[in-house]
C-alpha cells in the first residue's frame, strides 16, 4: 500500500518553469542540454524542488535513440524536432548503435539518483518503436501519413527498422536501469494512429519485446506503457505487453479502463492538460473526478499528456495541493 497517491506530471521539466528557461538558454540548444549530464540532472530535479511530486523523470528525449543510431537530429525553435529520414533498406542497414549519446544520458541518471530523496522515484523512459519509427520516416512532427502507409505496406526494411529499434531501446533502458532508474515508461505517443488490424504488429509486439528484454535482466522490473490515444483499448494493450501500469490520455474514462484490468495493474493519468490554463474551480472539479474514479493504491496521478509551456506555476501548485488533500 502506498502512503499516499503517487503523482508526477509529463514534461514536468520544461518551458513553463522560469528556472528551466534560464538553464536552457545557458545550455545553447535543447540537445546540448540533453547531452550535458550536470545541466540535464539539474533540470530533471527542478520540478521536485518546486512541487511535492513523487517522481523525477529523466530529462532527455525519445529521439536520442535514432540519434545514437546515426541519424542527424536538431530541435528548431518553435518547430520541434528535425530528424534525418530513413527511406529504404540501405538507410536502415546503415543504422548502427554507437552509444556515445547514451553514455551521457546514463551519466545524467546517476547524478539525479544521487540527489533524490528516499521517497522520490526515478523514472527512465524511451519512445516505443512505432512512435520513433514515425519520426524516422517523417523527419519531424508532421502528419505521419507516410509512416502509416509504409507501415501498412510493411516492406522488409520497415520490419528491420522496427527490430533495430526494439534492440536499441532495450539497450537504452537497460543502461538507464543500471544507472539507477527505478521504473521506466515507454511512450507510444502516436499509438492512436494505428488501425486496430495493425495494433498487434506495430504497437503491442514491439513494446512487449522491449519489456521482455528488460525483464530478462531485471526480473519483474516495473514498466508503465503509455500508448496514447487508445481509449478503451488500453486494458488490452497493458495486458498484452505485461505492463504494470497503463498510462492514459485525457478523454478516456479512467475508471472504466481500471475495471477492465486485473488487480495487479495500475493506471496513470489523466487530467486534461488544458484545464491548467483555465479557471481554478474547473481545474479542481475535474481533478476530483479523476481522483474519485480510481483508488489510491492503483493510481499514479498525472496529466493525459505533457504540461503546456504557457501553464502558470500557481495552477500547478493548486493542483498538487488538491491531490494531496484528497485521500
Ligand atoms: O519532463 C519530462 O517529461 C522529461 C523529458 C521529456 C522530453 N521529451 C523533453 C522535451 C520526455 C519524456 C520527452 C518525450 C518525448 N519527446 C515524446 C513522448 C511524449 C509526448 O509528448 O508524447 C515525444 C513525442 C518527443 C519528441 C519531441 N521532443 C517533440 C515532438 C518536441 C517538440 C514539441 C515541444 O514541446 O516543443 C520535443 C522537444 C522537447 N522534449 C522539449 C522538452 C522539454 C521542449 C524543448 C525546448 O526546451 O524547447
For residue range 250-282, list pLDDT tens digits in order. Answer: 999 999 999 999 999 999 999 999 999 999 999
DSSP reduced 3-state for 320: helix
State mean pLDDT over 235-251.
98
DSSP collapsed to 3 states, 53-100? CCEEECCCCCCHHHHHCCCCEEEECCCEEEECCCCCHHHHHHCCCCCH
Catalytic residue among 5, 11, 35, 172: 11
| Domain-embedded: residue 172 | yes
- Residue 316 in domain: yes
Report which protein residue has its CA nearest ligand 1's atom 22.
Answer: 189
- CA of 327 from ligand 1 middle (Å) equals 31
3-state helix, strand, coil in the chain (%, to 5): 55, 15, 30
- Report how far residue 187's alpha carbon sits from residue 197's, in angstroms, rounded to the nearest whole number: 21
Question: Catalytic site residue 11?
Answer: yes
How many structural domains is the chain composed of? 1
pLDDT reported for residue 78:
80
| pLDDT classification of 100: cutoffs 50, 70, 90 | confident
Residue 12 within any structural domain of the chain: no
Return the residue whose CA atom lies nearest to atom 8 of ligand 1. Answer: 61
Who wins on pLDDT, 99 or 66? 66
Degrees, nearest 5: CA angle 161-225-69: 30
Q: What is the Å distance from ligand 1's center to 13 Cα?
A: 10
Question: Pairing between strand 223-227 and 245-247?
Answer: parallel
How much of the chain, in percent, has pLDDT values that exceed 90? 94
What's the distance, Cα to Cα, between the start and end of the chain in Å? 13
d(C-alpha 23, C-alpha 46), whole Å: 10
Q: Please indicate whether residue 15 is annotated as part of the active site.
A: yes
**Cβ neighbours of residue 111 closer than 8 Å, sequence gap 6 or more:** 37, 38, 41
Note if 221 is an active site residue.
no
- Gap between the Cα atoms of 273 and 307, Å rounded: 6
Distance 61 CA to ligand 1 centre (A): 6
Total-model pTM: 0.97
Instruction: Give residue 17's pLDDT.
Output: 98
CA–CA dist 169, 129 (Å, integer): 8
Computed on alpha carbons and rounded to an integer, the radius of gyration of the chain in Å comes to 19
Tell me, yes or no, whether 153 lies in a domain: yes
Tell whether 3 is covered by a domain: no
Residue 256: give its domain's CATH number: 3.20.20.210
* Residue 28, burial from CB neighbour count under 10 angstroms (0-12, 13-18, 19+): exposed
What is each CA distance from 250 to 13, 118, 241, 273, 298, in whole angstroms? 20, 30, 21, 8, 18
How far is ligand 1, taken at its centre, from the CA of residue 104, in Å? 18
Would you say residue 8 lies in a domain? no
- Ligand 1 binding pocket (C-beta < 6 A) is 10-15, 24, 30, 57, 59, 61-63, 75, 80-81, 125, 141, 187, 189, 306
Active-site annotation holder among 16, 20, 35, 135: 135
The confidence score (pLDDT) of residue 181 equals 98
Is residue 296 pLDDT above 90, yes or no? yes
Q: Identify whether 23 is part of a domain.
A: yes
Ligand 1 atom closest to the Cα of residue 141 is 30
SS3 label, residue 266: strand
Ligand 1 atom at shortest distance from the alpha carbon of 34: 9
Give the domain range for residue 32: 18-326
Mutate to test the pocket of ligand 1, among 66, 144, 306, 316 (most ligand atoms within 8 A of CB): 306
Q: How far is the CA of 260 from the centre of ligand 1 (A)?
A: 30
Annotated active-site residue in 20, 54, 61, 221: 61
- Give the residue, by CA position, lying nearest to ligand 1 atom 31: 80
Residue 6 lies in a domain: no
Amino acid at each position: 500500500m502506498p502512503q499516499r497517491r503517487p503523482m508526477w506530471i509529463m514534461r514536468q521539466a520544461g518551458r513553463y518553469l522560469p528556472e528551466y528557461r534560464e538553464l536552457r538558454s545557458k545550455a545553447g540548444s535543447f540537445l546540448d542540454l540533453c547531452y550535458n549530464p550536470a545541466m540535464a540532472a539539474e533540470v530533471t530535479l527542478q520540478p521536485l524542488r518546486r512541487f511535492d511530486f513523487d517522481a523525477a523523470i529523466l530529462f532527455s528525449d525519445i529521439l536520442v535513440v535514432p540519434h545514437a543510431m546515426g541519424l542527424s537530429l536538431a530541435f528548431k525553435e518553435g518547430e520541434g524536432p528535425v530528424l534525418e529520414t530513413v527511406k529504404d533498406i540501405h538507410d536502415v542497414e546503415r543504422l548502427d548503435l554507437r552509444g556515445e549519446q547514451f553514455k551521457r544520458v546514463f551519466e545524467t541518471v546517476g547524478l539525479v539518483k544521487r540527489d533524490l530523496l528516499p521517497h522520490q522515484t526515478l523514472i527512465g523512459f524511451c519512445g516505443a518503436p512505432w512512435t520513433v519509427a514515425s519520426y524516422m520516416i517523417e523527419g519531424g512532427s508532421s502528419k505521419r501519413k507516410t509512416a502509416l502507409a509504409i507501415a501498412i505496406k510493411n516492406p522488409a526494411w520497415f520490419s528491420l527498422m522496427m527490430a533495430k529499434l526494439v534492440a536499441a531501446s532495450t539497450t537504452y533502458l537497460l543502461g538507464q536501469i543500471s544507472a539507477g532508474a527505478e521504473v521506466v515508461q515507454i511512450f507510444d505517443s502516436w499509438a492512436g494512429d494505428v488501425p486496430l488490424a495493425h495494433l498487434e504488429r506495430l504497437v503491442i509486439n514491439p513494446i512487449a519485446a522491449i519489456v521482455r528484454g528488460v525483464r530478462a535482466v531485471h526480473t519483474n522490473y516495473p514498466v508503465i506503457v503509455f500508448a496514447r490515444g487508445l481509449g478503451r483499448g488500453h486494458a488490452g494493450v497493458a495486458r498484452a505487453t505485461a505492463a504494470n501500469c497503463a498510462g492514459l490520455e485525457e478523454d478516456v474514462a479512467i475508471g472504466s479502463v481500471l475495471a477492465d484490468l486485473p488487480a495487479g495493474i495500475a493506471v496513470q493519468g489523466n487530467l486534461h492538460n488544458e484545464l491548467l490554463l483555465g479557471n481554478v474551480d474547473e481545474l479542481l472539479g475535474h481533478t476530483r473526478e479523476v481522483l474519485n474514479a480510481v483508488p489510491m493504491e492503483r493510481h499514479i496521478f498525472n496529466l493525459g499528456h505533457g504540461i503546456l509551456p504557457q501553464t502558470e506555476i500557481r495552477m500547478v501548485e493548486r493542483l498538487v495541493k488538491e491531490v494531496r488533500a484528497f485521500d
